[in-house]
Amino acid sequence: MKEDVKLNAVLNEKPEYAVWIMRQAGRYLPEYRALREKAGSFWKICFDPKLAAEATLQPIKRFGFDAAIIFSDILTIPDALGFPVIFEKTGPQLEALDLSKPIVFDQKALDRLLPVYEAINLVRTKLDAKTALLGFAGAPWTLACYMAAGKNDEGKAAKFWAYRNAEGFSRLIDTLVEGIAEHLIAQLKAGADAVQLFDSMAGGMAEPLFVQYVVRPTKKIVARVHATVPGAKVIGFPRGATLRGYGMYAEQTGIDVMSLDTAVPITWATANLSCLLQGNLDPLALVAGGEALEVGMTRILDAVHGRPHIFNLGHGILPETPIENVEKFVSLVRSGG
């Protein structure tokens, strides 16, 4: 891990601030909209290393974030497992699961993900020395939610499956643990400085399900990443979890950084979570700008004063976000308020 990179210093718990934004390469940028128009689809950009690299670098060139996050999608793993993904106006649609066939993460699946690693390699050659590079993957529970329903149904189909056929559902989770760990390791070996696990569907779960399908699988993935790539840093994001759930996740999974969703009180997090924190401005406050942005940022700055922190949003940046508000966000971090 390069010591001259600010995000890396923060990851090593030096008293500095770093800043990047979830979905920072995306539809709020006019240059990204032009690239997507040229490419023809979001999915094509994900699997074209040159286009993915270009999209990854766009927000770095415009805002100078402390980290670039590789342009990809959490659903690349289901796609690699043989469940093609189509993006409709209503969101992603996946091919239905055939439970009579075994689901295996093998070399063929890893080969399908090669464009992601090629894009990381390419970005690394173009990234300046002061900027870190992040990889990521969807977490097992969140990917299983999409795969069980073939779409985003807020986890209903996955919960029914887990309740009715725990053994069969656990086999899917085990396969996803294997694939996700391999995917994160490959991204780190390709040149990523750190990786993030997005568990976007972790909210609204009964505690036994949360422990079984969020905490325990994440612990297995993190342990495997740490054992294979010594010194690797893993950011975890159990979006929507209860405060007790956040506490269990921080204590039991082995993650290095906890990314907080907007609903988590930042003062509670600084008082109760010993790991490095990331977050958690409301994306709508960033859209609103003005006083909402300044008050939201002041609240975070006051809470994390004197400790290292990664400034980010509580979820992804929204397409309608004004460019000038992002500039103000970065300026507030850099000036310390």
Among candidate residues 17, 36, 117, 261, the one labeled active-site is 36
**DSSP state letters, 49-72:** HHHHHHHHHHHHHHH--SEEE-S-
CA dist 81 and 131 (Å) reads: 32
**Known catalytic membership, residue 36:** yes
Token couple for 153: 């149904």
CA dist 32 and 53 (Å) reads: 12
Type of residue numbered 260:
L
Strand 17-19, strand 309-311: pairing: parallel
CA dist 145 and 330 (Å) reads: 34
Among candidate residues 27, 62, 171, 216, the one labeled active-site is 27
**Known catalytic membership, residue 239:** no
Please list, residue by residue across 80-94, b when 16 or more beta carbons sit within 10 angstroms of its beta carbon and e when fewer do: bbebebeeeeeebbb
Burial of residue 39, with CB atoms counted within 10 A of its CB: 0-12 exposed, 13-18 middle, 19 or more buried: middle
**Known catalytic membership, residue 73:** yes
The number of beta carbons lying within 10 Å of the beta carbon of residue 104 is 12
The number of beta carbons lying within 10 Å of the beta carbon of residue 4 is 8
User: Quick one: which of 99, 16, 50, 63 has its CA closest to 330?
Assistant: 63
**Known catalytic membership, residue 23:** yes
Among candidate residues 28, 32, 66, 73, the one labeled active-site is 73
**Known catalytic membership, residue 146:** yes
Contact, 307 vs 15, CB < 8 A? yes
Among candidate residues 17, 32, 117, 146, the one labeled active-site is 146
Is the bond preceding residue 325 a cis peptide, omega within 30 degrees? no
Catalytic residue IDs:
23, 27, 36, 73, 146
